[in-house]
Every structure is written in C-alpha cells, then in structure tokens.
Amino acid sequence: MTRARVGIDVGGTKVLGVALDPAGEVERELRRDTPRGDDSVGELIDTIASVARELGADRSLGVGVPGLVTRAGVLRAAPNLDGVADVDVAALLRQATGLDVFVDNDATCAAAAEWRLGAGIGTRTMVLITLGTGIGGGLVASDRLQRGLNGFAGEFGHMVVHPDGPRCPCGRRGCWERYASGSGLAMLAREAATGRRLSHVVELAGGDPQSVRGEHVQDAARAGDEEALAVIDDFARWVALGLSNLTNALDPEMFVLGGGLAAGADLYLDPIVGWYRDLLYQPSLRPMPAIRFARWGSLAGAVGAALLPEVEG
C-alpha cells in the first residue's frame, strides 16, 4: 500500500490541509480556522493533528508554517501567529500524532510544490518568490531544496533595497517587501494619489487616497486607466530590481512568482520582464532566466508540505 501524502499549511487565519493522489493531484482539501490568542499553541497543535488524521496521514506528515523555522522544526518566530515563539512544532506534532513530522517555512514548502509539481518542473536551480502582504522566498539549487545553516534561507523580502526607505515590521528600513509586495503596491499607489494623481483609483477607493489598496489599482489598470498602469509599472520595477539582485547572488534558471498577486499575472508579467531585462547584469553573457507565475496559487504551501518527506535530505 502506498502511504498517504498529507501536507498542512498553517496561515494567520486558516489551517489548510491537502492529501495528494499518487499522480500529485490534490485529492482532498480541508480548512480550519487558525486558533487565536496568546495561549493558543496547544489548540493549534490539536487542530493540525486533527486535520492530519481526517486526511488519512498514516506514516508521515509535512507542515508549512509562516516564520523562521530551524532545521529541527522549531518555529523560532511567527509574527502572524498569536503567542507562537520558540515552539518545537515538529516534536509536539510527533507526540500528538505518532507520525514522522517534517516542518518547514511556508514559502520553502511552496518552492517544493512549484519545483516538483508546478511551474518549475525540470529546473535544477529555481527561486520562488511569493508576493503577498509581504514577500516570502524559497530556493532550489543543484537539484535540492536549500535551507541554509539555520534553516532561515530564502528571506528575500528583507533584503534592503533602500536604507532610508519606509520602516519594515522587522525593525529595519527599506526592505524589498515594503515596495514589491501587496502592501508595497498599495503604498506606491497612495503616494501617487497623495500627489493628486490617480483620480480614477481614488474614486474606486471611495474618495480617500489613504484607503487605496492594491486591488483598486488593479481594477483601474484593467479598465485601461493610464495612471494606474503607471503605478503597476513602478511596482514592476521594484519587483524586477529584487529579481536582478537575486540573479547576481544565485544565478538561477527560473523565477516562479506566487502569492496573492499572482492572480494579477496578466497585468504584471510583461512590465516585470521588461524591467528585469533592463536591470539584468551582463545580459549579453547569459541566457535570461525565465520568469513564470506559479501553478498552485493558495494551495502551494500545503502541496509542498506534503512533499517535504520526499525532498528532505
């Protein structure tokens, strides 16, 4: 009997589990609310364990969590989970389920999903970037998922691209995710709106420039609004700047862009590729790395978590 492949993605609001069939398609999905409150660790572990049971996990279980995870499966910090710091998630889940438990950062899991079953199939060196509220990252190099010394590799969102830029929740200034994430897009749009441009976008936001969000810009851009398209272009330049820096560091074959903003791939892909081509170092000496949008959308973390037992090592 083949063993069940079950993966669970723990997010700030939802615990999402999937069971994969032998071909790597999602057979079943299950969602639970993420327990909140400072004493919620025990409840969170119970929730994950019950989702794993319901999905039929029989020998192993993969879990993706949003934060810095050590190679041993200890979640050191998770800003979006109440009261979770220095929690040995792997050990607690082993105790609760009796399964072999593999725990990793959610974006690292998403990288595994896209590499083995998604946009990056067949690549040996691939970088996954999730463009959501912040930016997550995962890295495959030399045909292996990379975790770094501590397990903290791939925190690309906190590369500083402007030392005097806006304050980041991490405590520093000008991190890439202040510009190139969903919140970055909203900030660029509010800046443009405060300069009394973007009248159509501000209208969509109910008339207040401070209420402008990314989706208002996207809606106006899809309707052909020139000023909104200019904000998208500015945003694309910030995304491409980070990708060109990562290219110098990692020399990848492909970038896969996932996260919430991947839903607007039709708007972003061309300007990102255009700026990336302009910003790339020594373009005449290398094939340009491919830039693709992710296959798995919001399931990427859970699908990749289900693959962790196979890609460990």
Q: Does 109 bind Zn ion (CB under 5 A)?
A: no
Residues 41-60 that bind Zn ion (CB under 5 A): none
At its nearest, how many Å lie between Zn ion and the CB of residue 13? Answer: 22
Burial 233-258 (b: 16+ CB within 10 A, else e): bbbbbbbbbbbbbbbeebebbbbbbb
Residue number with CB closer to Zn ion (175 or 307) = 175
At its nearest, how many Å lie between Zn ion and the CB of residue 129? Answer: 15
Q: Does 158 bind Zn ion (CB under 5 A)?
A: yes
Residue number with CB closer to Zn ion (178 or 197) = 178
Give the span between the Cα atoms of 115 and 131, in whole angstroms. 17
Contact 104, 230 (CB under 8 A): no
Contact 201, 228 (CB under 8 A): yes
Name 146's bridge partners.
139
Q: Does 161 bind Zn ion (CB under 5 A)?
A: no
Residues 6+ apart with CB under 8 A from 199: 227
Helices (DSSP H) in 19-176: which residue ranges? Answer: 41-54, 89-97, 106-117
Residue number with CB closer to Zn ion (94 or 158) = 158
| Tokens coding 104 | 């990793």
Stretch in the footprint of Zn ion (CB under 5 A) among 13-21, 152-160, 183-191, 282-290: 152-160
Residue number with CB closer to Zn ion (106 or 227) = 106
Burial 43-53 (b: 16+ CB within 10 A, else e): ebbebbbbbbb
At its nearest, how many Å lie between Zn ion and the CB of residue 132? Answer: 14
Binding Zn ion by CB under 5 A: which of 91, 141, 170, 273? Answer: 170
Residue number with CB closer to Zn ion (120 or 132) = 132
At its nearest, how many Å lie between Zn ion and the CB of residue 170? Answer: 3
Stretch in the footprint of Zn ion (CB under 5 A) among 168-176, 217-225, 285-293, 296-304: 168-176
Q: Does 135 bind Zn ion (CB under 5 A)?
A: no
Name 18's bridge partners.
7, 29
Q: Does 162 bind Zn ion (CB under 5 A)?
A: no
Residue number with CB closer to Zn ion (158 or 213) = 158
Q: Does 175 bind Zn ion (CB under 5 A)?
A: yes
Instruction: Dump strand ranges (E) for 55-156.
Output: 60-65, 68-69, 74-77, 85-88, 100-105, 126-131, 135-141, 144-146
| Tokens coding 46 | 């119970």
| Tokens coding 280 | 């790339």
Q: Does 20 bind Zn ion (CB under 5 A)?
A: no
Binding Zn ion by CB under 5 A: which of 90, 110, 139, 168? Answer: 168
Residue 83 dihedral angles phi and psi, to the nearest 5°: 60, 20
Residue number with CB closer to Zn ion (170 or 269) = 170
Interface residue list for Zn ion (CB under 5 A): 158, 168, 170, 175
